[in-house]
């Protein structure tokens, strides 16, 4: 189910995104969310990213590139414990990317 969001400034501010940032997947649409894995902006179309519900009305966004990469470890319904593990994994990966 696609979540259609208002295309307004508040939403971009909320996501700490700049208006010029385009989706790293299709490079056509504006980024509306950030991949939790590689920190690239993605538009919220299903084609470009997978959106998982998370606690406190948050969403867990993973771009298609990353979701292909981590598909083996990824399940559609993430239990809190699994999500925590996944986040730790992702954190480690992002830290590695940054230091290299």
Query: Applying CB under 5 A, which part among 1-9, 64-72, 76-84, 86-94 lies near Zn ion?
Result: 64-72
Under rule CB under 5 A, residue 29 binds Zn ion: yes
Contacting range for Zn ion; rule: CB under 5 A; set: 1-9, 58-66, 78-86, 90-98: 58-66
Count of residues engaged in binding Zn ion, rule: CB under 5 A? 11
- The three-state secondary structure class of 41 is strand
Question: Which of 17, 38, 51, 94 forms a contact with Zn ion (CB under 5 A)?
Answer: 38
Enumerate residues 6+ apart whose C-beta is below 8 A from 61. 33, 34, 35, 36, 42, 44, 49, 50, 51, 52
């Amino acid at each position: 189910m696609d979540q259609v969001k208002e295309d307004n400034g508040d939403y971009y501010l909320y996501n700490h995104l700049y208006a010029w940032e385009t989706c790293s997947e299709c490079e056509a649409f504006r980024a509306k969310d950030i991949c939790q894995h590689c920190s690239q902006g993605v538009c919220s179309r299903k084609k470009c990213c997978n959106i998982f519900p998370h606690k406190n009305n948050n969403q867990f966004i993973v771009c298609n590139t990353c979701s292909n990469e981590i598909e083996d470890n990824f399940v559609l319904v993430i239990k809190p414990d699994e999500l925590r593990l996944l986040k730790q994994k992702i954190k480690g990966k992002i830290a590695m990317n940054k230091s290299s």
